[in-house]
Structure 1
């Protein structure tokens, strides 16, 4: 049985000991910011936290992806903000990924970009550090955190410019 990862004594989120934080899920052995990467970080590496970036789609869904466009990590092209969730979920997020042997071993296996809500649901015992990459992502992101009642296990960290002004719905 997997242990529930709770904050260490002394601080509700970080605690006092060094922590293993899986940046983008650990992008060398599985495609970054995907469920296989997060699953591997939790199951194989015993990560204490998951770290990820989010951006909104044209129809307001909060998708886990670092780049402004889908070009570098998928078989698609263009900005994620210009796509609907239906368009995004049809992309192959393993298309450009090469495993340690240099092979495209996960291409065409159904690896997609996850919604942030899916990550919250799939990893209910994990602490998460999430960065909204745009001001438009901040409000919807916080609504999803609250809807999942995950306020105590999610830390939102962002560049000041990404969350200032009208997007301050995170407070």
Structure 2
């Protein structure tokens, strides 16, 4: 038994020595690279972004929601995009229109004209359970072009929703890049996706000229580099992390984790934060961006404390 324990301790010591040597070797030879700060991030922070417009106050992703959000002086909008059957980029979250409109079907199987005919205020209910926007002329789907042209002073956080293995997903990065270049809004947009493959495809066109977010894989890589002690090896590929503050018990709002990313010039944003105290806590910890369904709450916080 003693011999077994001695063998285990010896093995543990050898493993520890190897890891220690590896850590020291990489620490001495690695060179940390920080991100160049894009114009998108050079406004005064913290940024308050309205999630799908003011989706807690008006039908999500409609002009009604974006107009309502603008009333509360948000820095920008966090939106989702998908490609229609006729290859127009529309501002919508779900793959199907059923939840948010009076229609049915997959976005990629519908033309822009067919989507424009739908009522996206049909299902929205206010706090009293009423449907005040049903049939409203502004409760319509917007194209990304319309959003960018109608709100020229707002930053736009764009999330690509179409999956990379789909036909529409394969087209989206190039169609999106061409639209951004045509409108000359490179400094006003941030492009991100849960799918790292979509971000990587878009980067093939944009290079380093447009701000990029991190996909799920990159967030995991950064967090576990930070926790492992080998954070000096982490080289960021994104300009911002748009993340929840807790995932399956992992506290992504750890102040030291935020500082780790900040030191690499990676802006840290949190979604979806609808509690005023939590907004304040995250800002105090160093959060660069707060994404909320209720910009009226964030507006009150900013006026009161900042």
The answer to whether TM tops 0.5 is yes
**Structure (1/2) with the larger helix percentage:** 2
Match of 2:49 in 1: 21
**Mean Cα deviation higher: 136-145 or 76-85:** 136-145
Structure 2 gap segments, 5+ residues each: 1-36, 163-168, 208-306
CA distance in 1, matches of 2:95, 2:135: 23
User: In the alignment, what sits opposite 1:125?
Assistant: 153
Which residue of 113, 120, 141 maps to 1:113? 141
Q: Quick one: structure 1 residues 55 and 168, their matched pair in 2 at CA, closer, same or farther if it must change by over 3 Å?
A: farther
What TM-score results when the alignment is normalised by the length of structure 1? 0.86
Aligned 8 A contact 2:157 2:190 in 1: yes
- How do 1:52-91 residues align onto structure 2 when only pairs under 5 Å count? 52-91=79-118
TM-score where L is the length of structure 2 = 0.50
Instruction: Tell me the residue number matched to 1:31.
Output: 59
Instruction: Kindly provide the CA deviation profile for residues 32-76 of structure 1, in whole angstroms up to 9, marking residues without a partner as x.
Output: 111111111112x11011110000001000000000000110011
What SS is found at the alignment partner of 1:102?
coil
Number of the residue aligned with 2:69: 41
Q: Is the 8 A contact 2:192 2:199 kept in 1?
A: no
Tell me whether 1:156 sits opposite 2:196 in the alignment.
Answer: no
Residue 178 (structure 2) aligned to one of 124, 134, 143: 143
Point out 4+ residue stretches in structure 1 off by more than 3 angstroms.
161-171
Conservation of the 8 A alpha-carbon contact between 1:50 and 1:129: yes
Question: Aligned partners of 1:166 and 1:19: how far apart in 2?
Answer: 24
Aligned Cα root-mean-square deviation (Å): 1.9
Shift of 1:167: 9.3
1:6 — aligned with what? none
CA distance in 2, matches of 1:166, 1:48: 24
